[in-house]
């Protein structure tokens, strides 16, 4: 197994979140992109405004690293039209994969028809441009029952509206890594939440994001059936070390 082909190296902090200047943050992004190129990771996951930079660096390096970006991040509460506009711009900037934050608060309010519309429209846009689509459900904001329900909702909506050969390109993803939890509870992927996702999203693939900090943890996720892992510590994991980062 090539662990690097499961790893989506991720940097999604703004300059203010990182408590550094815009120029310093751009340098951090450049370093993450270059590391992904040098290490041969599956993908570099960055914010939409940095996709062009990544594309330029990857083309210049003649690299096969894919570019992923987040849409309506991190809260997922924008109107559908705004989500689609942001995604369209990312597509035009040559992103390969689009990770949409679903409106999980609307889902918790029982607005399932709105979530279905979101899933269908975002998937249609991505697949029509031959992009991989992922739906971030934000497991830390949900109860176990809600994780089961929303995973099944995404699966059933995709099965009802898209052909089987598309299933491999529509993921259910655990977390943004930015959700604020109380009492030190995990804000990302855990073994129990990933098991619930896998059981209820099959045949759609699952991406575990947030909280995977060691090679052993990554391998455990892969053994369960996870197809991709989002982490800000991709190199540390690939080297068999332990990261102190939260994402």
Q: Which residues are catalytic?
A: 99, 173, 207
170-173 and 206-209 strand pairing: parallel
Confidence at residue 222, expressed as pLDDT on a 0 to 100 scale = 97
Confidence at residue 187, expressed as pLDDT on a 0 to 100 scale = 81
Confidence at residue 244, expressed as pLDDT on a 0 to 100 scale = 62
Low-confidence ranges of the chain (pLDDT < 70): 243-247
DSSP 159-203: HHHS-GGGGGGEEEE---S----STT---S--HHHHHHHHHHHTT
Confidence at residue 50, expressed as pLDDT on a 0 to 100 scale = 97
In tens, the pLDDT along 35-52 reads: 999 999 999 999 999 999
Please state, for a pLDDT cut of 90, what percent of the chain lies above it. Answer: 91
Confidence at residue 247, expressed as pLDDT on a 0 to 100 scale = 56
Q: What token pair was written down for 205?
A: 């693939």
175 sits in the region (left: phi over 0; alpha: psi -120 to 50; else beta) called beta
Cα-Cα-Cα-Cα dihedral sign, residues 213, 30, 51, 131: negative
Confidence at residue 31, expressed as pLDDT on a 0 to 100 scale = 97
Tell me the CATH class for 3-238: alpha beta
Residue 162: how many CA atoms within 13 Å on its side-chain side? 26
Confidence at residue 211, expressed as pLDDT on a 0 to 100 scale = 87
| Nearest Cα to Cα of residue 63 among 28, 36, 98 | 36
Q: Which residues contact 2 (CB under 8 A, 6 or more apart)?
A: none
DSSP 94-150: T-SEEEEEP-HHHHHTT-HHHHHHHHHHHHHHHHHTT-EEEEE--GGGS-HHHHHHH
Instruction: Map residue 8 onto helix, strand or coil.
Output: strand
Confidence at residue 182, expressed as pLDDT on a 0 to 100 scale = 80
d(CA 179, CA 203): 27
pTM of the model: 0.96
Do the Cβ atoms of 9 and 32 come closer than 8 Å? yes
- Residue in the block written with tokens 């689509």: 133
Q: Which residues contact 196 (CB under 8 A, 6 or more apart)?
A: 144, 147, 148, 151
């Amino acid at each position: 197994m090539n662990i690097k082909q499961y790893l989506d190296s991720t940097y999604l902090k703004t300059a203010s979140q990182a408590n550094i200047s815009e120029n310093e943050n751009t340098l951090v992004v450049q370093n993450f992109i270059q590391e992904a190129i040098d290490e041969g990771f599956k993908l570099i996951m960055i914010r939409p405004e940095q996709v062009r930079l990544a594309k330029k660096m990857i083309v210049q390096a003649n690299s096969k690293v894919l570019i992923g970006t987040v849409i309506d991040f991190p809260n997922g509460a924008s109107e559908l039209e705004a989500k689609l506009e942001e995604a369209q711009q990312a597509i035009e900037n040559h992103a390969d994969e689009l990770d949409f934050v679903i409106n999980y608060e609307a889902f918790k309010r029982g607005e399932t028809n709105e979530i279905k519309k979101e899933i269908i429209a975002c998937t249609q846009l991505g697949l029509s441009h031959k992009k991989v689509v992922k739906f971030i459900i934000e497991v830390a904001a949900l109860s176990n029952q809600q994780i089961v329900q929303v995973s099944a909702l995404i699966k059933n909506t995709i099965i009802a509206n898209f052909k089987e050969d598309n299933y491999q390109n529509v993921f259910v993803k655990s977390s943004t890594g930015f959700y604020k939890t109380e009492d030190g509870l995990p804000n990302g992927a855990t073994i129990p939440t990933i098991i619930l996702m896998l059981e209820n999203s099959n045949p759609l693939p699952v991406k575990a994001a947030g909280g995977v900090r060691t090679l052993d943890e990554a391998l455990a996720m892969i053994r369960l059936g996870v197809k991709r892992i989002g982490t800000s510590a991709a190199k540390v994991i690939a080297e068999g070390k332990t990261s102190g980062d939260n994402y």
